[in-house]
Amino acid sequence: MSLDTDRFMSTLATTRPPLTDLTEQERMFQEAVRDFAAAEIAPRVMEMDEAAQIDPGLIPQLFEMGLMAIEIPEQYGGTGADFFTSILVVEELAKVDPSVSVLVDVQNTLVINAVIRWANDEQKSRYLPRLAADTVGAYALSEAGSGSDAFALACRATPDGDDWILDGHKLWITSGKEAGIYIVFATVDPDAGYKGITAFFVEREFDGFSVGKKEDKLGIRASSTTELVFENVRVPGANVLGEVGMGYKTAIETLNEGRIGIGAQMIGLAQGALDHTVRYVQEREQFGRAIGSFQGVQFQLAEMATEIEAARLLVYNAARLKDAGQPFVTPAAMAKLYASEVAQRVASQCIDLHGGYGFTREYPVEKLYRDAKIGTIYEGTSNMQKQTIAKALMR
Active site residues: 379
DSSP 8-state symbol, 120: -
> What Cα–Cα distance (Å) separates residue 64 from each residue in 52, 59, 67, 108, 329?
23, 9, 8, 15, 32
Q: How far apart are CA 9 and CA 43, in angstroms?
A: 8
Q: How far apart are CA 283 and CA 289, in angstroms?
A: 9
Pick the closest to residue 170 from 134, 143, 146, 150 (CA basis).
143
DSSP SS3 for 349:
helix
DSSP SS3 for 375:
helix
Residue 254 is which amino acid? T
Give the strand pairing for 285-286 and 289-290: antiparallel
For the chain, the residue count is 395
Give the strand pairing for 181-187 and 289-290: unpaired
DSSP SS3 for 350:
helix
DSSP SS3 for 56:
coil
DSSP SS3 for 379:
coil
φ/ψ region of 225 (left if φ > 0, alpha if ψ in -120 to 50, else beta) reads beta
Q: How far apart are CA 253 and CA 256, in angstroms?
A: 5
Beta strands in 141-180 (DSSP E): 156-160, 163-174
Within 54-145, residue ranges assigned H as helices are 58-64, 83-96, 98-105, 113-118, 121-133
Pick the closest to residue 83 from 66, 65, 101, 71 (CA basis).
71
Give yes or no for a contact between 247 and 164, defined as CB atoms under 8 angstroms apart. no
